[in-house]
Chain A
């Protein structure tokens, strides 16, 4: 099966590298010309920054055999239509990306989004029938330090969840193939046959909780959890998000989530600044707020579920990320 990775930034390149390492026939499509040229010429320099028992061990591979293109039209001229196309753009750019990718998409092509956050599926469904659509998300840190090089920093445990938006012959076939390539390539991926939305929601809720609250408070996860006010904030987000997930057809119990999923996060990564802190505090760049708390608030509004905490946190993060240059900072 011919797979296209549309959007080959840090995450797209890492996901593609696992698939290629697992034997996939894969092309990359990205406008980042220097990266595309380097990978086509020398292959992908793929580093897995593995942590085992507190010690880091780097697995380094030079993966040949990628064909790269800077546009879907160029890709179509050489490759024709693809069997599977995976979108790894920014969530805000997904619709435009699917439109731009049309040349390589045929009536039998299966579309895949592994982009973080909520609402990517709805954008996919504008172009792909549900029985030709996969959704999922990765649980991996990724980086692209220079053109032709990508780094994966798996956190331990599950690294990828995906599944068909609905089960069909087409989605089953695509899932089976992706599962084999990911696994053979060294990525601990899971095909969630009947409950992919359960996993998507869980990841979104974790991110909407610790990412957003820690970024606004400028504290690590464990520091917020240790403060009674901070803990209330965490719980409030979880309660709103679980209510919305449940109303959207993915039943999640907030008390259960707090006792298990949230407790695990605090235990495992309490001493870290989550990724939105890195976006907001360290790099002053745009965050994923709109596909996290923003989307929860949006769904809540549609469904008549109160989500004031998510709504106002979204506004707070917007007010901050739209005004980094005017913010107080300490020398």
Chain B
């Protein structure tokens, strides 16, 4: 749910990175953080365990510039991917404007990918959202690994709605900004429809 402030002329939107544990959601945000000008970003917050697994969420506020005299601010969140943190994932989806589903390209993570996608869909439904109507893109991460599945197979299993998809190697930044731009554009386009 975007928050529009006519007084300070700001648009605030919330984007959530969703996906199975260790798929690279936090790495996406870290790359964006490292490559963004200091004036365009706030502090990146990671609520993580001692072993650097996301416990509650990562948070990165980004300013993308002005559109029709309104400052556009995107708040990027990740969810904890591990199955048993489902209650936390539900909380983070509240008020979401756009979703990035981050899949792990490795063959042995296919079951976890499908489970996470089903979980995304049902958790959104619980909050009154429909994944079919929400600004939504898919990222296939870890494309550089030798056990990465062919893109066509990933698409068939994880992208039945054929939303925009991006191949990524998050630590190197490949596909990271393409994914962010795509979801941000969809969110702003949705805002235009709503306006």
Task: Check if A and B associate.
Answer: no
